Structure 1
Amino acid sequence: MTGIAAPGTKVAVTGAAGFIGSHLVEALLGRGCEVVGIDRRSLRSQTLARLHLGDVLDHPRFSWVEGDLTDLNLNEVVDGCMYVFHLAAVPGVRSSWTGFEDYIASNVVATERLLRACREAGTPKLVFASSSSVYGMVDTLSAENDVAMPVSPYGVTKLAGEQICLAYAKRPDSRLSVTALRYFTVYGPRQRPDMAIARILAAALTGEQYTIFGDGTERREFTYVDDVVEATIAAAGVDVPAAVINIGGGSSVSMIDVIGLAREVTGNPVPLTAVPAQPGDVRATAANLSMARLLLGYQPRTDLRTGMTRHAGWMRGLTPHLLRTYAPPPMITGPKEATCSH
């Protein structure tokens, strides 16, 4: 996989202070790019945002823009950028049943504003971070040409974001090429504290209870963050006007098996509390990666055991206070409980 090749290329990353975004920023700087990071999270007041970007804030080729995509002058932000990587979004399946206005504003309205700015600025390429949540309830490998039927408000907004991207790319007067990547549950160092593997590992390392939703046979395709970043950069080089591509880890694993791996890589038990599955939860996710192989030359490199070992090692290096940030929250059985998504 190649993607961006020329050192000095100016790029923008929205959601730069987040889990995947911060890894992407580091990788782009490592390739010699000039990176503009955009996020509404405050580096002054939000501990995890500072943790994520702490190693790059003083980098001479990194510039920081703090603000909401629904308010910023995006024409100025993307001016001169060859590539825009749009990762900013409000995540979470279960939590999307409340506060839907923010999901619409951040995942749909902000995306359209960014696309309009890219079109007006003459930006050649936008890579959009979508989600496997657009597929909904499936019982086989999900392929990009399958009918998307999301079963949560979050999935609906990610599908809407995709469609807006494709609409802009297919305009008769468009010079903007768009590639939408459907990420299948991404994990690794800096994973959001509300996501499954972070919470399972935190439970093993702190002794707190992990709340498992369902009977543990639910399956997810987990994708290591380094593989996702490599695919995301490669997507910048896709030479088609509009494309949608799955990015997965190569296998679908039951939650019981994930918990077993957490015990192995930490050497500690995972205290469990079981509750019923919640609205928006799906039984399984699994990616057909044929399109990713064809257009990106993509092949996931990191198996789940290796990835979880690295993830656990990173968490062991956190201060007790920060590790407690990742400890599972008190059990919630209503729709506000967070989930593993994107």
Structure 2
Amino acid sequence: PFTVYGPRQRPDMAIFKFTRMIDRGLSIPLFGDGSTARDYTFISDFVDGVEKALHFAGGFRIFNLGGSHSTRLIDLVHTISKALDKKPEIEFQPTQPGDVPLTLADISRARDELGYEPKISVPEGIQRFVDWYRSSAQVGRA
């Protein structure tokens, strides 16, 4: 899987951390210029791919499950900011040694053999996450 996110995700992952920081008016440390990019996969798309793989009759195969496109970190921060309707405070930091500049899932085998197709865009997935975050924050869970 490639950077799975969504409601009830781990709070130590970037989307949850950035959401909490923007919501609380805290500064977000961004390493480098924000151009590193990740292939984010909404949880329901990942679950759909796993279900399809469980029912695959073609023997043992390896399938990449991802969103099939990359989102730059700076764009992710602004997407979260828009969903929260709050301006982010960004503190640019030096690039971290060994940071991977790009992840991108090649889902062609999963598409061809499983009929896997991610459906939730990053902006839609972020909005769903933020909606969950807000409802969970009201009861002290986020």
- Tell me which protein shows more strand as a share of its residues: 1
Residue 271 of structure 1 deviates from its aligned partner by 1.9
Q: Structure 2 counterpart of 1:221, which letter?
A: D
Residue 260 of structure 1 deviates from its aligned partner by 1.2
Residue 239 of structure 1 deviates from its aligned partner by 2.0
Structure 1 residue 220 and structure 2 residue 35: aligned? no
Residue 272 of structure 1 deviates from its aligned partner by 1.9
Mapping of 1:98-113 within 5 angstroms?
Answer: none
Q: 2: distance between equivalents of 1:304 and 1:207? A: 22
Q: 2: distance between equivalents of 1:314 and 1:270? A: 19
Q: 2: distance between equivalents of 1:234 and 1:207? A: 41
1:301 corresponds to? 119
Structure 1 residue 283 and structure 2 residue 101: aligned? yes
Any gaps of 5 or more consecutive residues in structure 1? Answer: 1-182, 324-342
Quick one: percent identity of the two aligned structures?
A: 35
Q: 2: distance between equivalents of 1:251 and 1:263? A: 20
Closer, same or farther: CA 319–263 of 1 in aligned 2, 3 Å: closer
Residue 248 of structure 1 deviates from its aligned partner by 1.0
Q: 2: distance between equivalents of 1:300 and 1:276? A: 34
Find 2:141's aligned residue among 318, 322, 334: 322
Q: 1: distance between equivalents of 2:77 and 2:137? A: 23
Q: 1: distance between equivalents of 2:55 and 2:114? A: 8
2:80 corresponds to? 262
Q: 1: distance between equivalents of 2:141 and 2:27? A: 17
**Residues 22-59 of structure 1, C-alpha deviation per residue, up to 9 Å, x if partnerless?**
xxxxxxxxxxxxxxxxxxxxxxxxxxxxxxxxxxxxxx
Q: What secondary structure is seen at the aligned counterpart in 2 of 1:200?
A: helix
Mapping of 1:73-84 within 5 angstroms?
Answer: none
The normalised TM-score by structure 1 is 0.39
Closer, same or farther: CA 188–278 of 1 in aligned 2, 3 Å: same
Q: What secondary structure is seen at the aligned counterpart in 1 of 2:78?
A: helix
Residue 191 of structure 1 deviates from its aligned partner by 1.5
1:206 corresponds to? 24
Higher RCO (C-alpha under 8 Å, 6+ residues apart): 2
1:247 corresponds to? 65
Closer, same or farther: CA 193–291 of 1 in aligned 2, 3 Å: same
Q: 1: distance between equivalents of 2:122 and 2:45? A: 12
Q: Structure 2 counterpart of 1:299, which letter?
A: E
Q: What secondary structure is seen at the aligned counterpart in 1 of 2:61?
A: strand
Larger radius of gyration: 1
Q: Structure 1 counterpart of 2:52, which letter?
A: A
User: Superposition RMSD on alpha carbons, in Å?
Assistant: 1.5
**Residues 218-265 of structure 1, C-alpha deviation per residue, up to 9 Å, x if partnerless?**
011111000001111111112233211111112111111111111211
